[in-house]
Amino acid sequence: MPDSATTPSSTANGVYLCFDFGLRKTGVAVGQAITRTASPVGLIEYPHSQINYDAISALVTEWCPDALIVGLPLTEDGLPQPMTEQARTFGAALEQRFSLAVHFADERFTSRTARDLHRQRRQAGTARRRDAGKEDAVAAQIILENWLHDEAP
């Protein structure tokens, strides 16, 4: 089950940033608690395998979120896997750097769903093959919308 760290937000605006964490890149989405919808923002790439906190900081400054959501990779059975601890470490680093609450959200099947959506959009002629790189941001969107519907205050 998702868990959260509780750090109070100074101004509540109902905006949340979500990260689909990866070792080479992280998909990002932004969402709104009132509508419980989210949109993909883009990718943050790590060219030297180091998290690009400057890019994350720019997004936090731009969107002024109430909290940050990090996708928690679990096995199909809901058990931790090797990436689970790395996502938790990423979330703890975000919480420390930005003094924002970080919530973890189950991300099972979101990458698969994002791939399926991309495939459907290609078949419909509304996406191109080169848009496949945006799948991680779409996965973050799905993670965030699920969290907004199930866990958001």
pLDDT in tens, the chain (153 residues): 344 343 333 457 899 999 999 888 899 999 999 999 999 999 999 888 899 999 999 999 999 999 999 999 998 888 999 999 999 999 999 999 999 999 999 988 666 665 666 566 656 665 555 554 577 888 899 999 999 998 877
- CATH 3.30.420.140 for domain 15-150, yes or no, is yes
Q: Where are the beta strands (DSSP E) in the chain?
A: 15-20, 25-32, 37-45, 67-72, 101-106
Tokens linked to 48? 């030297």
Closest Cα partner for 72 from 56, 91, 87, 89? 87
Alpha-carbon distance values, 2 to 26, 47, 69, 105 (Å): 19, 30, 10, 5
What pTM does this model have? 0.81
